[in-house]
A = this chain, B = another copy of it.
Amino acid sequence: MKNSVGREIPEYIEGYGPVKMFRGAFANFGEQSRGNVKLHPIKPGIKKLLSTIEEVLDKVQIQDGMTISFHHHLRNGDFVLNLVMDAIARRGIKDITVAASSLFPIHDPLAEYIKSGVVTGIQTDYIAPGAVAKAISKGFLKKPAVLMSHGGRPRAIESGDLHIDVAFIAAPTADAYGNMNGAYGKAACGTLAYAMSDAQYADYVVAVTDNLVRYPACPIEISQDFVDYVVNVDSIGDPSGIVSGTLTVTKDPVSLHIAKLAARVLEETGYIKDEMSFQTGAGGTSLAVAAEVRKYMEQKGVVGSFASGGITGYMVDMLNDGLFRALFDVQCFDLKAVASIRDNIKHQRMSSSLYANPHNKGAVVNNLDIMILGATEIDTDFNVNVVTGSDGIIIGGSGGHNDAAAGSKIAIVVTNLTKGRLPVVKDKVTTVTTPGESIDVLVTERGIAIHPQRTDLLEKLKGTDLPVMTIEELKNLAERLTGKPEPIQFGDQVVAVVEYRDGTVIDVVRKVPD
């Protein structure tokens, strides 16, 4: 059956179940519920501190078929997922589903566990290019991976769609009764926002720390009333893989040109104004857009309401310089952000549910004016792919992409028109992550395309010197530069289900040939 972005999706997918078809960004709405949670209360005097991961596995009665979860605040420095998976594998446990908010190259050992059947399910918002992504794409994972968005994951957890048996929470600082924070410790990552739903809804919650402090661990981000056990290990992560020292604006002239064009679009269409809100990624081009927007804000004396998302030092500077009144932070990308979230009440933590869950009472993305997005591919319906690469292998995932695109008043995709001798603008993207209806503008170095529904924007850009054209014109331009690439020869096997943020299926990824 075809869903509303024209994708042929089976009505039932083996290892996934019956499919709820994507029918539009806000079609699956109406009354929702947060599910039941099982609790094991403890009497005064009972200790939660355990000595080893092995002891933890005994206490939580780990067994075949369970779903265990992890957060990704330690990013490519995370040791916790591997520590836990190694211990599970040593026990001969099989058929584990790993529900990690994201996966990084450091988690490559998972690929072996996928091949050996220790791990048969993966549910995640993002998989960085690496061995795990390849193992999935090549069909080694027994059940299709489920790719969610950053808002879709807490939605799934809170609604009960994704039931977690045991949540393992990497805690840069914790006390022996389970209070924890990401603010301090040698693996400090700023906030633990992605782990909030896990802590609230898993049957068992385990804090894994390498910085056990005296009770209570202030500031408390996840509190003891949600935590069953605490375990102290040598090291939960490698600081150099967790946060960058600093992230800087790109120096690439093409990227800078794109950023300037994007900021011009925002200025000409009236989005740069008092009380504006803004989100952008941490990539060089995205930060360059922030820098260009900043110039307009300063020229005009504009003070914005908030910036949100993963936060970099660049956005901290904008807060401290009075360009925004507040930051909503779901993840600290660098040391300046970590320091700021510790000390400034205007730099506000947000859980991933508060950030982007479409089925709570109003996520922060709902209040976004401007969203700057990347794209691996974008098609002439403005559908965006950030899941699969040109070879059909998984190279990412939505993260907050389709969440912020849906919530914001203007969602701008900034990208080079071609990448690595391949066109970015195509007839059909390989995999739909974000539906075209949520994308308003595409800015490339060769031209700007406006979604035809946004006649208001087209009207405002008429008469400017901005290189506005149709997206078909951009596609033709791209193809003239690169040629039309051969279509990828996928197999039949569904290796990943791409869930839209509301839990409907917007696309599937099929097996690539060996």
A407 to B226, alpha carbons, bound, how many Å?
18
Query: Per-residue CB proximity of A277-301 to B under 8 Å, as 1/0?
Result: 0000000000000000000000000
Query: Per-residue CB proximity of A340-355 to B under 8 Å, as 1/0?
Result: 0000011010110110
- State whether B225 touches A44 (Cβ < 8 A): no
- State whether B345 touches A218 (Cβ < 8 A): yes
**Is chain A's binding surface mostly helix, strand, loop or mixed?**
loop
- Nearest chain B CB to A139 CB, angstrom units: 36
Contact of A359 among B30, B39, B328, B362 (CB under 8 A): B39
A39, A220, A365, A408: residue with the most chain B Cβ atoms closer than 10 Å: A39
Smallest Cβ-Cβ distance to A40: which chain B residue: B31
> Which residues in chain A, 42-74, are within 8 Å of chain B measured between CB atoms?
42-46, 48
A465 to B214, alpha carbons, bound, how many Å?
36
Q: Does A406 interact with chain B (Cβ within 8 Å)?
A: yes
Query: Per-residue CB proximity of A25-37 to B under 8 Å, as 1/0?
Result: 0100111111111
Contacts of A36 in B (CB 8 A): 33-36
- State whether B225 touches A345 (Cβ < 8 A): no
Contacts of A44 in B (CB 8 A): 365-367, 406-409
Contact of A360 among B38, B41, B346 (CB under 8 A): B41
Query: Per-residue CB proximity of A78-91 to B under 8 Å, as 1/0?
Result: 00000000000000
- Nearest chain B CB to A423 CB, angstrom units: 32
- State whether B34 touches A41 (Cβ < 8 A): no
Smallest Cβ-Cβ distance to A360: which chain B residue: B225
- State whether A275 touches B214 (Cβ < 8 A): yes
Q: Does A224 interact with chain B (Cβ within 8 Å)?
A: yes
- State whether B360 touches A226 (Cβ < 8 A): yes
Smallest Cβ-Cβ distance to A41: which chain B residue: B359
Q: Does A257 interact with chain B (Cβ within 8 Å)?
A: no
- Nearest chain B CB to A183 CB, angstrom units: 9
- Nearest chain B CB to A337 CB, angstrom units: 16
Q: Does A400 interact with chain B (Cβ within 8 Å)?
A: no
- Nearest chain B CB to A486 CB, angstrom units: 39
- State whether B31 touches A43 (Cβ < 8 A): no
- State whether B224 touches A354 (Cβ < 8 A): yes
Query: Per-residue CB proximity of A190-233 to B under 8 Å, as 1/0?
Result: 00000000000000010000000011101110011111100000
- State whether B216 touches A361 (Cβ < 8 A): no
- State whether A40 touches B361 (Cβ < 8 A): yes
- State whether A362 touches B224 (Cβ < 8 A): yes
- Tell me whether A326 and B42 are in contact in the complex, defined as CB-CB below 8 angstroms, given that A224-B362, A363-B225 are known contacts: no
- Tell me whether A38 and B31 are in contact in the complex, defined as CB-CB below 8 angstroms, given that A225-B360, A360-B226 are known contacts: yes
- State whether A214 touches B43 (Cβ < 8 A): no
A46 to B30, alpha carbons, bound, how many Å?
14
- State whether A226 touches B361 (Cβ < 8 A): yes
- Nearest chain B CB to A278 CB, angstrom units: 13
Contact of A225 among B33, B39, B353 (CB under 8 A): B353
- State whether B362 touches A42 (Cβ < 8 A): yes
Contacts of A177 in B (CB 8 A): 362, 366-367
Query: Per-residue CB proximity of A117-149 to B under 8 Å, as 1/0?
Result: 000000000000000000000000000000000
Interface pairs (14), CB distance under 8 Å: A29-B41, A31-B40, A33-B37, A39-B361, A41-B358, A42-B366, A44-B365, A44-B409, A223-B350, A224-B354, A224-B361, A224-B362, A225-B353, A225-B357
Sort A-B residue pairs by CB-CB distance and give the 7 closest, nearest first: A225-B360, A34-B37, A44-B366, A219-B345, A32-B39, A41-B359, A225-B354
19 additional contacts (CB under 8 A) given A39-B361, A223-B350: A31-B38, A32-B38, A32-B40, A33-B38, A34-B36, A34-B39, A48-B362, A178-B361, A205-B361, A214-B275, A216-B306, A216-B348, A218-B326, A218-B345, A218-B346, A225-B351, A226-B360, A226-B361, A228-B361
A residues contacting B by CB (< 8 A) are: 26, 29-46, 48, 177-178, 205, 214-216, 218-220, 223-228, 275, 305-306, 325-326, 328, 345-346, 348, 350-351, 353-354, 357-367, 406-409
